[in-house]
A and B are shown apart, each in its own frame.
Chain A
Amino acid sequence: MTESQIMRDWYVPVEVLTLRTWLVVAFIVNLLLLTVEVLREDSLSLILGLLICVLFAALRASLPHVHELGKRNISLALSALIIGIGLFRLGSSSLSFFDIWMHAWAIIPSILSLWWLSNRAVTVWTSNKLSTSAIEFGLLRNFETINKHEKISTHLILLHFVLITVIPLLWIIDIAFSPGNALGGEIGDSFSTEHFSKILKGDSFWIWFVNSLIVSIGTSLLGLTIAIPAGYAFSRYKFTGRDVSMFAFLLVQMFPGIIILVPYFLVMKTLGLLNTHLGLILAYCVTALPLCVWMLKGFFDTIPRELEEAATLDGCNQFQVFTKVVLPLSTPAIAVTALFSFLAAWNEFLLALTFNTSNDMYTLPVGLASLISSTGQAWGDFAAASVLVSLPVALLFLFFQKFLIDGLSAGGVKG
Chain B
Amino acid sequence: MGEECQQAILRKGILVLFLSLLFILPGCLDGDDSNDGGNNSSSSDKITLDIWHTFAAESKEEEVFTNAVKAFEANNPNVSVDITMVPFGNADQLFMTAAQGGQAPDLMRLSSDQLGAIGEIRVDSLPLLEDLRPHLTPQDRSNFEERALAAMRYGDALYGVPASQDCLSLIYNKALFDAQGVDYPDESWTHDDLLNAAQQLTYQDVQGLALPVKSAYWWFPIQEGFGGSLFNDSGTPTLDSNGSAEAMEWMLDLELEHEVVATGTQIEGMKNQFISSKAAMIIDGPWNWATYEASRLSIGQTILPIVDDSGDRMSPLVTYKGWSVSKQSEHKIAASELALWLSSASVQKDFALETYTMPTHSELKNDQDILGDDVIRGFLEQTQFGTPAPTTRAMSLVYDPLSTAFEQAYSGISTTEDALSDANEELISQIDGLQKAAPLQPNTGYRTIPLEFQLNQSVLNYSIYVDEVLHTQFIVSDVLGTSNSGYDSCTSSGEELNQSGQIRIIPTLATNLNCSLTGMIPNVEHIIDVYSDGELFYSTIGSTSVSDQRPSAGDTSPVMFALGAIVLSLIALLSYGRWRDQRLKRTNSRLAHAYIAPALLALAVLTFYPVIYGFWLSFTDADQTHLGDQSFIGLSNFWDVITASGFIRVTIFTLVWTVVNVTAHIGIGLFLALLLQRTSIRGKTAYRTLLLLPWAVPSYISVLVWRGMFQPDGFINDLLGTNIDFLSDPTGAQVVVILVNIWLGVPFMMMSISGALQALPKDMYEAAELDGVTGWDAFRHLTLPNLRSALVPLTLLGFIWTFNMFNVIYLMTDGGPNLYFGEPGQTDILITYVYDVAFREGAYGVAAAWSVIIFLMLLAFSWTYMKQTNATEGSS
- CB <8 Å contact, B268 and A183: yes
From B273, B589, B709, A239 is in contact (CB under 8 Å) with B589
Contacting pair B56 A172 (CB below 8 A):
no
Name which of B218-226, B333-341, B447-455, B759-767 contacts chain A. Answer: B759-767
> Could you say which residues of chain B place their CB within 8 Å of the CB of A282?
602, 606
- Bound together, the chains give a CA A247 to CA B675 distance in angstroms of 33
- The interface residues of chain B lying within 8 Å CB-to-CB of A411 are 761, 763
Are A290's CB and B797's CB within 8 A? yes
Q: Decide if A302 is an interface residue (CB 8 Å cutoff).
A: yes
Q: Determine if B74 is an interface residue (Cβ-Cβ < 8 Å).
A: no
B821 sits at the interface (CB 8 A): no
Is A376's beta carbon under 8 Å from chain B?
yes
List chain A residues, Cβ under 8 A from B844. 259
Q: How far is the CA of A269 from the CA of B59 in the complex (A)?
A: 32
Chain A contact residues: over half helix, strand or loop, or mixed?
helix
Q: Is A125 an interface residue (CB 8 A)?
A: no
The answer to whether A233 and B595 have CB atoms under 8 Å apart is yes
Tell me whether A232 is interfacial, beta carbon within 8 Å: yes
Which of B47-94 touch A at CB < 8 Å? Answer: 54-59, 61, 82-90, 94
Q: Which of B560, B672, B698, B720 contacts A98 (CB 8 A)?
A: B720
Are B679 and A259 in contact (CB-based, < 8 A)?
A: no
Q: Would you call B607 an interface residue if the criterion is a C-beta within 8 Å of the partner chain's C-beta atoms? A: yes
User: How far apart are the CA atoms of A257 and B287 in the complex, in Å?
Assistant: 34
* A-contacting residues, B616-672, CB 8 Å: 617, 672
> Which residue on B lies nearest to A176, using beta carbons?
B701
User: Considering the chains assembled together, what is the distance between the CA atoms of A117 and B285 in angstroms?
Assistant: 67
Of the stretches A74-82, A127-135, A137-145, A354-362, the one at the interface is A354-362
Answer whether residue B480 sits at the interface, using C-beta atoms and an 8 A cutoff: no
Identity of the chain A residue whose Cβ is nearest the Cβ of B700 in the assembled complex: A368
Tier of interface size on chain A: 35 or more
Taking a contact as CB atoms under 8 Å apart, the answer to whether A238 and B679 are in contact is no
A393 to B747, CA, bound (A): 13
**Interface set, chain B 658-707, CB cutoff 8 A to A:** 672, 675-676, 679-681, 684-685, 687-702, 704-706
Which residues of chain A come closer than 8 Å to B794, judged between CB atoms?
295
Question: Does A258 make an interface contact (CB < 8 A)?
Answer: yes
> A270 touching B556 by the CB < 8 A rule?
yes
Q: Least Cβ distance of B753 to chain A in Å?
A: 9
Contacts of A39 in B (CB 8 A): 720, 722, 724
Asked if B235 is an interface residue, CB under 8 A from chain A, the answer is no
Query: Are B563 and A162 in contact, with the CB atoms below 8 A?
Result: no
* Residues B31 and A150 in contact, CB atoms below 8 Å apart: no
CB-CB < 8 A to A233: which residues of B? Answer: 589, 591-593, 595-596
CB atoms of A270 and B90 under 8 A apart: no
Q: Which of B97-105, B190-198, B407-415 contacts A (4 or more CB under 8 A)?
A: B97-105
Beta-carbon contact of A249 and B614 below 8 Å: no
Query: Which residues of A have CB within 8 Å of B103?
Result: 265, 269, 274, 357
* CB-contacts of A308-351 with B (<8 A): 318, 329-330, 332-333, 335-336, 339-340, 343, 347, 349
Q: Do A229 and B596 have beta carbons less than 8 Å apart?
A: yes
Q: Out of B28, B57, B97, name the residue touching A270 (CB < 8 Å).
A: B28
A191 to B462, CA, bound (A): 67
A188 within 8 A of B: no
Name which of B128-136, B431-439, B858-866 contacts chain A: B858-866
B271 adjacent to A182 (CB under 8 Å): yes
Segment touching B, from A57-65, A105-113, A397-405: A397-405
Q: Is the CB of B759 within 8 A of A329?
A: yes
A303 contacts B57, CB within 8 Å?
Answer: no
- Does B743 reach chain A (CB closer than 8 Å)? yes
The interface residues of chain B lying within 8 Å CB-to-CB of A269 are 31, 101-103, 554, 556, 559
User: Which residues of chain A from 253 to 309 have any CB-CB distance to chain B below 8 Å in the complex?
Assistant: 253-267, 269-272, 274, 282-283, 285-286, 289-291, 293-295, 297-305
Q: Are A370 and B86 in contact (CB under 8 A)?
A: yes
CB distance from B218 to the nearest CB of A (A): 15
Interchain CB contact (< 8 A) of B610 among A168, A240, A260, A405: A260
Decide yes or no whether B406 CB sits under 8 A from chain A.
no
Q: Measured between alpha carbons, how far is A169 from B684 in the docked complex, in Å?
A: 20
- The answer on a CB contact under 8 Å between A289 and B31 is no
Per the bound structure, the CA–CA distance linking A202 and B62 in Å amounts to 13
Q: Which residues of B contact A181 (CB under 8 A)?
A: 291, 294
Flag whether A3 is at the interface (Cβ < 8 A): no
**Stretch of B150-158, B358-366, B831-839 on the interface side:** B831-839
Query: 1/0 per residue A222-263: CB within 8 Å of B?
Result: 000111011011111111111101111111111111111111
What separation, in Å, do the CA atoms of A340 and B705 have in the docked complex? Answer: 24
The 8 A CB mask of A347-381 against B (1 = contact, 0 = none) is 10100011001110000011111111111111001
In the complex with contacts A370-B86, A404-B755, A229-B24 CB distance below 8 A: no
Provided the pairs A198-B58, A234-B596, A251-B859 are in contact, do residues A267 and B685 lie with their beta carbons within 8 angstroms? no
Q: Is A409 an interface residue (CB 8 A)?
A: yes
Q: Let me know if A389 is at the binding interface, CB within 8 A.
A: yes
Complex CA gap A239/B698 in Å reads 41
Partner pick for A339 among B58, B288, B560, B751, CB 8 A cutoff: B751
Chain A residues with Cβ below 8 Å from B863 are 247
B599:A226 contact, CB within 8 angstroms: yes
Question: Which A residues are in CB contact (< 8 Å) with B675?
Answer: 154, 157-158
Closest to B694 in A: A165
Report yes or no: A289 in contact with B602, Cβ–Cβ below 8 A: yes
Selected contact of B679 from candidates A98, A151, A365, CB within 8 Å: A151
Decide if B521 is an interface residue (CB 8 Å cutoff).
no
State in angstroms the CA–CA spacing of A140 and B311 once bound together. Answer: 90
Looking at B176-184, B533-541, B848-856, the stretch in contact with chain A turns out to be B848-856
Q: Contact: A172 with B701, CB < 8 Å?
A: yes
Q: A266-B554, A283-B606, A301-B875 are in contact. Are A230 and B599 (CB under 8 A)?
A: yes
Cβ of B748 under 8 Å from chain A: yes
Evaluate contact between A151 and B609: CB separation under 8 angstroms: no
Residues of A with C-beta under 8 A to B605: 267, 271
CB distance from A159 to the nearest CB of B (A): 9
Could you say which of A155, A261, A298, A377 contacts B793, with CB atoms under 8 Å apart? A298
A184 adjacent to B269 (CB under 8 Å): yes
What residue of chain B has the Cβ atom nearest to residue A377's Cβ?
A: B268
Instruction: Assess whether B792 is interfacial by the CB under 8 Å rule.
Output: yes
Asked if A96 is at the interface of the complex by the 8 Å CB criterion, the answer is: yes
- Which chain A residues lie closer than 8 Å to B94 at the CB level? 353-354
**Cβ-defined contact, A182 with B599, below 8 A:** no
- Find out whether the CB atom of B556 lies under 8 angstroms from the CB atom of A374: no
Known: A256-B834, A262-B101, A357-B103. A180 touches B84 (CB 8 A): no
Q: Which of A36, A166, A272 contacts B720 (CB 8 A)?
A: A36
Contact A180 B295, beta carbon cutoff 8 Å: yes
From known contacts A263-B609, A411-B763, infer whether A183 and B708 are also in contact, taking CB-CB under 8 Å.
Answer: yes
A240 CA / B702 CA spacing, docked (Å): 46
Residue A386 interfacial (CB < 8 Å): yes
Tell me the smallest distance from the CB of B295 to a CB of chain A, in Å: 5
Q: How far is the CA of A294 from the CA of B796 in the complex (A)?
A: 10
A356 to B614, CA, bound (A): 22
B854:A386 contact, CB within 8 angstroms: no
User: A-B pairs with the 5 shortest C-beta distances?
Assistant: A375-B287, A373-B56, A184-B272, A237-B589, A294-B793
Q: List 13 A-B contacts (CB under 8 A).
A: A184-B269, A259-B614, A267-B606, A289-B602, A290-B797, A294-B797, A299-B756, A299-B759, A300-B875, A343-B696, A347-B699, A369-B90, A410-B761
Q: Which residues of A contact B (CB under 8 A)?
A: 36, 39-40, 94, 96, 98, 147, 150-151, 154-155, 157-158, 161-162, 164-169, 171-172, 175, 180-185, 198-199, 202, 204, 225-227, 229-230, 232-243, 245-267, 269-272, 274, 282-283, 285-286, 289-291, 293-295, 297-305, 318, 329-330, 332-333, 335-336, 339-340, 343, 347, 349, 353-354, 357-359, 365-378, 381-383, 386, 389-390, 393-394, 397-398, 401, 404-405, 407, 409-411
- Knowing that A269-B103, A272-B24, A373-B59 touch, tell me 17 more A-B residue pairs with CB under 8 angstroms: A161-B672, A169-B693, A171-B705, A233-B591, A233-B595, A238-B589, A247-B872, A250-B797, A250-B800, A266-B556, A270-B28, A289-B603, A359-B85, A370-B85, A389-B698, A404-B754, A407-B758
